[in-house]
Homo-oligomer: A and B are copies of this chain.
């Protein structure tokens, strides 16, 4: 309505001098849209809902299924039946992509194509802002991290040929990380982790030198040995490292491994699932691009950008490995057909809503909250006679020992005996916390043995390492965590913990 001719008509209905400021206000909003289309970056300041809706509504009106007077004689005309579905998608129906590529424009759907393009551009800017400074290409995929990794592996398979059937993979005890390898028809070659010297020691102690910690780590030497085990570089599809993970596992030293991969000519894929939110992890990846080989970095959108589950970003950066095919581009090109545009819409809306400032503020707040959580949980551990696992290189997750919950006889007798009086207190803690409205903590006690197929059997599954240690509870400071949540968590944890120990150790007085 801010076109001069329209405003003039409006000025014929009500006083023109009142219309003018309204027209200017509209123009300020359409200028936001222009600035977005022209800068192709995150707006400095987040948009309000009104401006976002104005953009999205206009884009939706540019898809053929929303044209006035359109008739459709094809097999896919974007007809939607249910009004609730129409509303929640703003009338978007055509998804994104085309047979040629996942990022190809759609002739019938200029609006959807623009949503796709803008979402990709803003995601790129957001990654750079978060610390992945040398990112050169980023592809938003409408699938969660696991399937995105599978697609990356399939793309690498095209490049590396059928010989390269092994994925060298430092152990992480999350099934998805394993299944994304096997579901691509590949063979995982597990690299075991080394534990720090303090691992498995209960209670507080005063050793405090740097090497003396609880971390579970992989070494470049371990990777190299695995490549040899596989039969050499030509048999390895890629090394598949992990950054973000649960304490006491440490992020893999991606830069050192990148250097190794560069030297050996082995592709390197990084699972950075929820690592965009950590400055430290971003810095490590950014460094890896410079010093060695990284073919693709994959991250989740829900965990890093506060949108619903269902999206992932594959990105690459730096100058790239000499002679390297761009895996990001490859993934897009070989994608078979169209895909949902719903995740792109979520990301676009969310990044416009945050703006660059809001994005940075959230990232900085998370770093601050990690400190706050550590501090509060340390005090709590002290009060409970436990200690915080020393995991200095994990910037998101931390662990607290649960030594007091271990039953004396279990040191020998194991699980079954423990089922006296209502179950093992360690495992009970997790479910009790959940029933007290605390979600996301993980209790790691004595994990079982699990066979995940592909000749891979894991002992003590859940702990990332075969060797059994002291049970512990993990908690993470993820994007969006609030101070108040930490306070409430620590309070509920302490209360629940004491309740469990009271029953276990009747001698200890409890408030």
Is the Cβ of A147 less than 8 Å from the Cβ of B62? no
Cβ of A341 within 8 Å of any chain B Cβ, yes or no, is yes
Cβ of A408 within 8 Å of any chain B Cβ, yes or no, is no
Cβ of A80 within 8 Å of any chain B Cβ, yes or no, is yes
Is the Cβ of A176 less than 8 Å from the Cβ of B438? no
Cβ of A255 within 8 Å of any chain B Cβ, yes or no, is no
Is the Cβ of B303 less than 8 Å from the Cβ of A76? yes
Total A residues in contact with B, Cβ cutoff 8 Å? 159
Contacts of A478 in B (CB 8 A): 72, 74-77, 79
Is the Cβ of B147 less than 8 Å from the Cβ of A339? yes
Cβ of A309 within 8 Å of any chain B Cβ, yes or no, is yes
Stretch of A112-120, A194-202, A213-221, A262-270 with 4 or more beta carbons under 8 angstroms from chain B = A112-120
Give the docked Cα–Cα distance between A133 and B175 (Å): 36
A249-275 CB mask vs B (1 if < 8 Å, else 0) is 000000000000000000000000110
Is the Cβ of B306 less than 8 Å from the Cβ of A337? no
Cβ of A318 within 8 Å of any chain B Cβ, yes or no, is no
Contacts of A5 in B (CB 8 A): 34
Is the Cβ of A21 less than 8 Å from the Cβ of B434? yes
Cβ of A439 within 8 Å of any chain B Cβ, yes or no, is yes
Which A residues between 9 and 55 are near B, CB-CB below 8 angstroms? 9-10, 12-15, 18-19, 21-23, 25-26, 28-30, 32-34, 37-38, 40, 48-55
Which A residues between 52 and 68 are near B, CB-CB below 8 angstroms? 52-64, 66-68
Determine which of B23, B83, B183 lies in contact with A335 in the assembled complex, contact meaning CB atoms within 8 Å: B183
Stretch of A223-231, A421-429, A479-487 with 4 or more beta carbons under 8 angstroms from chain B = A479-487
Cβ of A340 within 8 Å of any chain B Cβ, yes or no, is yes
Give the docked Cα–Cα distance between A187 and B236 (Å): 22
Cβ of A99 within 8 Å of any chain B Cβ, yes or no, is yes
Is the Cβ of B99 less than 8 Å from the Cβ of A353? no
Is the Cβ of B309 less than 8 Å from the Cβ of A95? yes
The minimal Cβ–Cβ distance linking A68 to chain B, given in whole angstroms, is 5
Determine which of B19, B28, B81 lies in contact with A68 in the assembled complex, contact meaning CB atoms within 8 Å: B28
Is the Cβ of A13 less than 8 Å from the Cβ of B28? no
Cβ of A374 within 8 Å of any chain B Cβ, yes or no, is no
Cβ of A342 within 8 Å of any chain B Cβ, yes or no, is yes
Give the docked Cα–Cα distance between A173 and B384 (Å): 68
Cβ of A338 within 8 Å of any chain B Cβ, yes or no, is yes
Is the Cβ of B274 less than 8 Å from the Cβ of A180? no
Is the Cβ of A30 less than 8 Å from the Cβ of B6? yes
Take A110-B14, A353-B82 as given contacts and tell me if A88 and B91 are in contact as well, using a CB distance cutoff of 8 Å: no
Contacts of A10 in B (CB 8 A): 37, 110, 114
Stretch of A150-158, A280-288, A319-327, A411-419 with 4 or more beta carbons under 8 angstroms from chain B = A150-158
Which A residues between 368 and 420 are near B, CB-CB below 8 angstroms? 373, 396-397
Contacts of A157 in B (CB 8 A): 185
Is the Cβ of B22 less than 8 Å from the Cβ of A110? yes
Most buried by B among A80, A300, A340, A475: A340
Stretch of A137-145, A463-471, A495-503 with 4 or more beta carbons under 8 angstroms from chain B = A137-145
Is the Cβ of A150 less than 8 Å from the Cβ of B336? yes
A157-200 CB mask vs B (1 if < 8 Å, else 0) is 11000100000000000111001101111000000000000000
Is the Cβ of B353 less than 8 Å from the Cβ of A81? yes
Take A34-B5, A105-B15 as given contacts and tell me if A338 and B353 are in contact as well, using a CB distance cutoff of 8 Å: no
Take A85-B350, A99-B175, A440-B72 as given contacts and tell me if A67 and B341 are in contact as well, using a CB distance cutoff of 8 Å: no
The 17 sampled A-B contact pairs (Cβ below 8 Å) are A1-B58, A9-B38, A10-B37, A21-B434, A26-B62, A54-B61, A75-B476, A80-B308, A88-B89, A143-B147, A143-B340, A146-B336, A146-B337, A147-B335, A183-B335, A309-B339, A310-B341
Q: Which 4 A-B pairs have the closest CB atoms?
A: A74-B440, A310-B340, A22-B62, A146-B337
